[in-house]
Amino acid sequence: MAELHDLSALEQADLVRRREVSALELTEHYLERTQRLDDVGAFITVTSELALERARALPVGDQDGPLHGVPTAIKDLNLTAGVPTAFGSPAFADFVPDVSDAVTLAIESAGMISLGKTSTPEFGSPCYTEPEGYPPAVTPWDRTRMAGGSSGGAAAAVAAGLVPIAQGSDGGGSIRIPASCCGLFGLKPTRGRISGYPMYGDPVGLATAGPIARTVRDAAAMLDVLAGRRVGDPAWAPPPSGTFLEACDRDPGTLRIARIPDPIIAHAPVDAACSTALAEATHLLESLGHHVEDVAPPLPPEAVPVFETCWAVLTAMSVVPPEREHLLRPLTRWLSDRGRAVNGPEFGLALGAMRRFAAQALDALAAYDVVLSPTLAAPPLKVGALRNDDDPAADFEAQKAFTPWTSAWNVTGMPAASLPLHWTDDGLPVGVMLAARPAEEELLLSVCAQIEAAAPWRDRTPPGW
């Protein structure tokens, strides 16, 4: 008989709805696993008492949403009233917000129960999760290797069975990178799909929240929970035709798919495992009746320094009290100094240039329904392989070489997902990425669900599961 953590998030919610399992039983089950099995650096803070209190008080009714009663976790970048939220930085180690952001509020309104805050690197900047003073987040497939970042804690928690589903955020690949490293499905929604209330801290439009899950349908249900605009949002995506979960049951039809095998933002070598994963995904898509053709990278090399300028300015916008700046790690200080050196007109010109590059890329890809590429240039690397506190510039370049595709879809605002379609001979997961036109998450989810049905991965679990 299956254990509770073997079930999908939707299956667990169905048990709660039918009163065969209570939200309290689920919460106790996952808290026990978290206490016993979190050797993957998943959690920064575990809020056991608060989770149990909410589980006991949670009403159950026939009209509950699809994830009502399901345990989850909230990334340490997201404001959570009354819960320490350090943004992955010692500079905010004692910060406890008195308000929650739109993501936290949506999770609570859906009747999901957060077990605590998942690990993230400082301000969510690097693509690895090695926060100061805490263990690194590692993939449970090999605990000497990184879980990716910046949603590394969230992915490690889901992959190790500490929660059935979790929320992450993605400004340059930070959902899809850890999804690939941890053998999960991770979805970055389209720009404006999920509210940034109340911080609205990204004027560039690169970052958004999104789901990390073991199945496409679980992720779609989580997107239904998170999606929606709030009064005051500066931009928003058009509403879907139905629920995102319903989209998983639709036939995507015959699609024209653009394949991008060559790195976009860096001249990086591509590991043979990633090329193999791409070739296998191509064959699978063609066997499903889709048409796949190679295209050139849609962003020119000139777009890379423009992205870097915007990224550095966003890092510099993190308001750290002067007396705490010495607590920042070298990469953050280096990026902040780089961002502060950009004056207002230069930033405005960079924003305009990035939007023009995005428009050109969208135009180049307009004839295609979906875009296919590797997620990363290598399987999960050893912990510390990218980090270089002595040379932050080298650290940054190494990150680009590891992730030469992901940030392209943050620039364009397209929805994009990493699918766990390949494992190396020594058992490391390798993701493949699909992206769709802006606001076409429904199509993206329908083809991802079709792929999962043809090549299921859910029952493949890591050591210690």
Residue 75 annotated in active site? yes
Q: Two tokens at 98?
A: 């008195």
**460, part of any domain:** no
* Tens digits of residue pLDDT in 267-277: 999 999 999 99
For residue range 82-131, list pLDDT tens digits in order. Answer: 999 999 999 999 999 999 999 999 999 999 999 999 999 999 999 999 99
In a domain? residue 153: yes
Average pLDDT over residues 346-357: 97
Of the candidates 89, 125, 151, 174, the residue annotated as catalytic is 174
Whether the Cβ atoms of residue 463 and residue 212 lie closer than 8 Å to each other: no
User: Which residues pair with residue 420 across a beta bridge?
Assistant: 431
pLDDT confidence tier of residue 52, bands split at 50, 70 and 90: very high
pLDDT at 1 over 70: no
| Nearest one of 134, 158, 151, 147 to 78, comparing CA atoms | 151
Given 119, 125, 150, 151, the catalytic residue: 150
- What's the chain's average pLDDT? 97
Q: Are 428 and 141 in contact (CB under 8 A)?
A: yes
Which positions ≥6 away from 45 have C-beta within 8 Å? 76, 83, 84, 116, 117
Q: Rounded to a whole number, what is the distance in angstroms from the first to the last CA of the chain?
A: 15
Q: Cα–Cα distances in Å, from 463 out to 37, 113, 129, 182, 418?
A: 11, 26, 21, 12, 22
CATH number for the domain spanning 46: value is 3.90.1300.10
SS3 360: helix
Q: What is the pLDDT of residues 168-220, one digit of tens each?
A: 999 999 999 999 999 999 999 999 999 999 999 999 999 999 999 999 999 99
**Choice between 181 and 60, residue whose per-residue pLDDT is larger:** 181
Any domain includes 374: yes
Mean pLDDT of 290-303: 97
Structure confidence at residue 290 (pLDDT) = 98
For the chain, helix (H) and strand (E) counts, in that order, are 15, 11
- Residue 61, pLDDT > 90, answer no
Taking residues 386-390, report their average pLDDT. 98
Does residue 244 lie within any of the structural domains?
yes
- Among residues 430, 384, 377, the alpha carbon closest in space to that of 401 is found at 377
Peptide bond into 150 cis (omega under 30): yes
- Does 349 map to a domain? yes
18 pLDDT exceeds 90?
A: yes
Residue 30 has a pLDDT of 98
Q: What pLDDT does 318 receive?
A: 86
Q: Considering the chain, what percentage of its residues have pLDDT values greater than 90?
A: 97
**CA–CA dist 409, 425 (Å, integer):** 30
- Confidence bin at 235 (pLDDT 50/70/90): confident
174 annotated active-site? yes
CA atoms of 419 and 279, how far apart (whole Å) = 14
User: Rounded to whole angstroms, how far apart are CA atoms 174 and 132?
Assistant: 18
Domain membership of residue 141 (yes or no) is: yes
pLDDT band at 13 (very low <50, low <70, confident <90, very high): very high
Residue 465 lies in a domain: no
CA–CA dist 190, 193 (Å, integer):
6
Quote the domain boundaries for residue 228: 4-454
Q: Measure the CA angle with vertex 327, ends 321 and 329; round to 5°.
A: 120
294 phi/psi in degrees, rounded to 5: -75, 140
pLDDT higher than threshold 70 for residue 342: yes
Residue 195 lies in a domain: yes
- Whether the pLDDT of residue 367 is over 90: the answer is yes
Count of domains observed in the chain: 1
Q: Which of 8, 75, 180, 318 is catalytic?
A: 75
Q: What is the pLDDT of residue 187?
A: 99
Report whether 47 contacts 171 (CB < 8 A).
no
Helices 216-226 and 441-454 pack at an angle, to 10 degrees, of: 160
Report the Cα 252 to chain-centroid distance in Å.
24
